[in-house]
Amino acid sequence: MRLVAVTKARALAFLEIDELNMGGKVRLYDCVARIVERYQFLVFPQKIEDFDLEQKGIQFGSGKADGLVIDTLKIYNRALVLDTLSNTDDSKRIVLDMLEWGRESLGLTYSPDQITRWGHISDLVFSTDFPLLATFSSPLEKLAKKTSTITEQTFGGLSYQAMSVTIGHDPTVRKNAIAGLLITHRADTKFDENRYFSEAPLPTDLHIQYLQEFEADVLESQK
């Protein structure tokens, strides 16, 4: 497996935003210019309607921190969500830097124990030396070949194979579902290029590790 690109590395810090303003002295509207100046955001809230903590979040975009691109930052009532294009560890570190800086420079009443938990989403593009999805399941491969036989009679020259694999939890057991793990062919690429997109609710490094292990398991199953 060869990593081609990280298209999203998201860290979600779950905390109550109101706890960052215990003295009632900080107004988010007044903080925007300082945040934009420090993190060089090109997209930032400019109208009162942009300050929607409950539904849309307060959104910043195309910024930088320590030489890394911040793709987006969203502030919600109960979470800070930050995307980079490098690694979820970088995203987490930048969130913590923002909170520490906010305490020192903006008057936020932040303490590390206010973050109750962390979440992650990572999106990767990778390639393999063999058709990963076409060979990972013998029953699926057989089904694809049988389907190809029938469609070729009508359309000719179409070879079917597994296009994606998704694993996830039962959505009925949790009100707000957690993202599944997806592997699918990269959009707008031929199947024989063996290029794939994967999304997972995992830190970037662990996501890469699990994909490498999946690739090894597929190869082992073909012996």
Identity of the amino acid at 31? C
pLDDT above 80 (res 218):
yes
Q: Treating both helix axes as pointing N-terminal to C-terminal, what angle do 88-101 and 204-221 enclose, rounded to 10 degrees?
A: 170
> Where among 119, 152, 169 does a domain terminate?
119
The pLDDT tens digits for 85-115 are: 999 999 999 999 999 999 999 999 999 999 9
Cα dihedral 47, 83, 119, 26, rounded to 10, equals -40
The pLDDT tens digits for 117-128 are: 999 999 999 999
36 located within any domain: yes
Closest CA to 73 of 47, 36, 125, 113: 36
> Where among 102, 119, 136 does a domain terminate?
119
**How many other CB atoms sit within 10 Å of the CB of residue 87?**
18
78 located within any domain: yes
138 located within any domain: yes
134 in the same domain as 91: no
Q: What residues make up the domain containing 176?
A: 124-221
| Range of lowest pLDDT (140-144, 159-163, 175-179, 192-196) | 175-179
CB 186 within 8 A of CB 197: yes
